[in-house]
Chains A and B, each alone.
Chain A
């Protein structure tokens, strides 16, 4: 016995503007604090850095007012805050290590924001993306395998996931992530009935037919292939996790989670038995302080010491020594923030990620079409999985893998792809929150 009524929605762009000002305040405030810690005064160019970031995100805000007025009001401010904080922490590490990575990161932020604006402007209805399901599959798998090609593939720090053209290097897997999310959503929205309804029930689980296992096995073999040939644990985990998550959302069958997890455990144990680089990661995870592994585990151990010295309230931005950790600006930016902003700051950051993912999933619930639902759920899940894998890796909940915190860590490819993800989520949320649909479609 219930009455179903539509809730009046408002565009809420003004709320977004207010929140954006607070977000920019977080970025500028961090920059000022780092300047005070490093040189005892406010760095003179803070207006340029703050102004640059402000122009970029207010540009996105203005575009949203025109092309997606009903888009979710908190996604952009959260993204801005995380991206801005990441920029400043990278700048802070630059000062300590005498590098100049923050400028590159700001440049990549501009490219990412440009890509997000282009997506919002060109894709006026996310459902047209469903037409490119198989094109996305082809391009996605192609990009994933691109680093294996001779000449352009680069092997950096043991993982073959980069391509290089001259001085530029890029991780095509980051873009492949979006294309494969598109493909999984488009494919599963049509195939879900046969994957959900057919099969026998056993111990409360609906078991699929043998031939319906095909897609999940293909995804499994492919992610194992990434692990074996590109030696990248993180990307492999991300793709398989994404597929299982979208499959579960599409079919609502717990059996797919059980099947996916068993395949994952089998694959992980197999990889651990066979490959030395996986064994090394597991040793670092389980025994970081033992004499035999201490050399390899230096990064993890130093990260733990950093977070411990930060304590509850942190040492203050620019006051700690996060630069001791190798690759503090990319893989270990999480511990750098834990050291300088403490548990209080890290919890605020994790809550921002949590709300970002929640907004994505809320968009999926609100979306009126199956494709939009699956795409929004899949993209939000990739953000959540990356956060879990990185935060879990540096805090020794799970073995360390090669993923980076979205928007926070140094890395152009990741920044670019995550801004595109945000643009797609904003586009779907605009469609989900728009009050009267033009027509009922199905």
Chain B
């Protein structure tokens, strides 16, 4: 085999090595998983702006429809929203929580929001400072209406449509 062929084979092999490296990098570029955090569009954009915090309301059956999002209205995460699906939402300081709070007044696993027969319920998981729905302390799983503030430590959450 000629010297030229050997050199071409040698350089071709190095090229093959880099083809693998670059195609792996290409795969990584399109390979995202986990959660994506995007900035909220500027206020005024229809439907996506931050509405003023709704005043606490009692049980208002007319207003009850399926909530779509969970919005943080007070606390260090103010403005953050989470899409609601079928899965339960664990709230607390522990990293495995769905909503991880940086709030010294909340417990590691503070409260849980879960869906039961089409209704979202809030349950306190034995937290130190308690969970409040409106003004009353949550003692047992209680249905949460849209717009009712749920207080966890210094953080206030509410369900939005």
Q: Would you list which residues of chain B between 128 and 160 have a CB under 8 Å from chain A?
A: none
Distance of A341 Cα from B31 Cα, bound (Å): 30
Cα A292 to Cα B94 in complex, Å, equals 58
| Residues of chain A contacted by B39 (CB below 8 angstroms) | 1-3
Closest to B79 in A: A1
Q: Are A30 and B14 in contact (CB under 8 A)?
A: no
Q: Contact between A313 and B14 (Cβ–Cβ < 8 Å)?
A: yes
- Which chain A residues lie closer than 8 Å to B32 at the CB level? 7
- Whether A36 lies near B6 (C-beta < 8 A) is yes
Report the Cα distance A136→B73, complex, angstroms: 46
Interface flags for B95-129 (1: CB within 8 Å of A; 0: not) read: 11110000000000100100000000000000000
Say yes or no for B17: interface residue by CB 8 A criterion: yes
Q: Mark A3-18, 1 if CB is under 8 A from B, else 0.
A: 1111101001001001
Which residue on B lies nearest to A340, using beta carbons? Answer: B10
Shortest C-beta distance, B12 to chain A (Å), equals: 8
A26 and B17 contact, CB distance less than 8 A: yes
Q: Is the CB of B33 within 8 A of A26?
A: no
Which stretch from A93-101, A116-124, A278-286, A430-438 is at the chain B interface? A430-438
Given A2-B39, A314-B10, A439-B87 contact (CB < 8 Å)? yes
- What sequence of 0s and 1s flags, for each residue 39-74 of chain A, a beta carbon within 8 Å of any chain B beta carbon? 010000000000000000000000000000000011
Count A interface residues, CB 8 Å.
54
Complex interface: chain B residues within 8 A of A352 (CB): 20-21, 24
In the bound complex, what is the Cα–Cα distance between A188 and B79 (angstroms)? 34
Instruction: Indicate if A348 sits at the interface (CB-CB under 8 A).
Output: yes
Nearest chain A CB to B157 CB, angstrom units: 13
Q: In this assembly, does A257 line the interface, its C-beta being within 8 Å of a C-beta of chain B?
A: no
**What residue of chain B has the Cβ atom nearest to residue A358's Cβ?**
B28
B155 to chain A, nearest CB (A): 15
Q: Are B14 and A341 in contact, with the CB atoms below 8 A? A: yes
Check if B54 is an interface residue, CB within 8 A of chain A.
no
Contact of A313 with B98 at beta-carbon distance under 8 Å, contacts A3-B38, A5-B35, A5-B38 already known: no
Please name the residue on chain A nearest to B41 by beta carbon.
A3
- B residues neighboring A (CB under 8 Å): 1, 6-7, 9-11, 13-14, 16-21, 23-25, 27-28, 31-40, 50, 78-83, 85-90, 92, 94-98, 109, 112
